[in-house]
Amino acid sequence: MALKRLSGHCDDDVVTCPGVWEDDERPDDIVIVGDLVDPAAAPDLGPGEGAVRLRRQAGTPVPPDTPEDSEWLARLQQQIVDGFRQCRVHILDQPLTPYLRFELDSYLDSVAVGSEVYVVDRDVHADLTDLHEDFWIFDDEIAVRMYYDEGHFLHPELIEDIEPYRELRDMTLSRSEPVTEYLARNGLTRETLRMTG
């Protein structure tokens, strides 16, 4: 597998951020771990996310995204059919903010096309208290750490020593549960997740 360069954006012809890959050596497996963007410090969303979030908060019915109306989901679905695996582990902080509710709701669209999404509650697992890193592991060979500033993405950084990040991945996965099970256990539905104000 050859990583040509790191990229801060996703082009239509690449599997996913943050890497641009040789055409015949794209990753087969990506695991994304972290609390992602600090939701309390991330008032700004992408154009599509922002529009959907505003409609939800205004009480306007917003149907789930599907591969038929989302180019990103259609591409992800086809990649998964072709054997690609995307796994995400999101470390949650309580109470759930409107942004976290938005993300949990959106994850259900990814799960519907075959993506694996797990969550773990930091309040329940003391050993996750100080874990505030966001990183991606590609094919268990390449690790990339994401840097943010007040909720805004800055840049990715290639990690030279991948082993500590493999251990963090395995540790968070062992404490996590599928997002659908987490939502059911906590009595959360798409409707209640959208009750954000």
- The phi and psi torsions of 121 (rounded to 5 degrees) equal -90, 115
Q: Per the domain annotation, does 17 fall within a domain?
A: no
Indicate the pTM of the whole model: 0.80
Residue 80 lies in a domain: yes
Residue 18 within a domain: no
Inter-residue contact 8 to 16 (CB < 8 Å): no
**9 is a domain residue:** no
CA–CA gap between residue 192 and residue 179 (Å, rounded): 15
Q: How many domains does the chain have?
A: 1
Residue 55 sits in which domain range? 26-193
Does 122 fall in a domain? yes
pLDDT the model gives residue 182: 97
Number of C-beta neighbours around residue 161 at 10 A: 8
pLDDT of residue 61: 60
Residue 82 maps to a domain: yes
Amino acid 117: pLDDT: 96
Q: Residue 95, exposed/middle/buried by CB under 10 A (0-12, 13-18, 19+)?
A: exposed
Does residue 14 sit within a domain? Answer: no
Distances (CA, A) of 189 to 42, 50, 106: 23, 21, 12
pLDDT (tens digit, 0 to 9) for every residue of the chain, 197 residues total? 444 445 444 444 444 444 444 445 667 888 889 876 544 444 444 434 545 555 555 555 667 888 898 888 888 898 899 888 999 999 999 888 888 888 899 899 999 999 999 999 999 998 898 888 889 999 999 898 988 776 667 778 889 999 999 999 999 999 999 999 999 999 999 888 877 54
Task: Find the radius of gyration of the CA atoms of the chain.
Answer: 17
CA distance 125 to 133: 16
Q: How far apart are CA 86 and CA 145, in angstroms?
A: 17
Query: For position 64, what pLDDT does the model report?
Result: 82
Q: What is the CATH number of the domain that holds 50?
A: 3.30.870
Reference 147, options 158, 161, 157; nearest CA is 157
pLDDT (0 to 100) of residue 122:
92
| Residue 88 CB contacts under 8 Å (≥ 6 apart), including other chains | 31, 32, 33, 107, 110, 115, 116, 117, 118
- The H or E element containing residue 131 is none
Provide the pLDDT for residue 54. Answer: 52
Residue 44 lies in a domain: yes
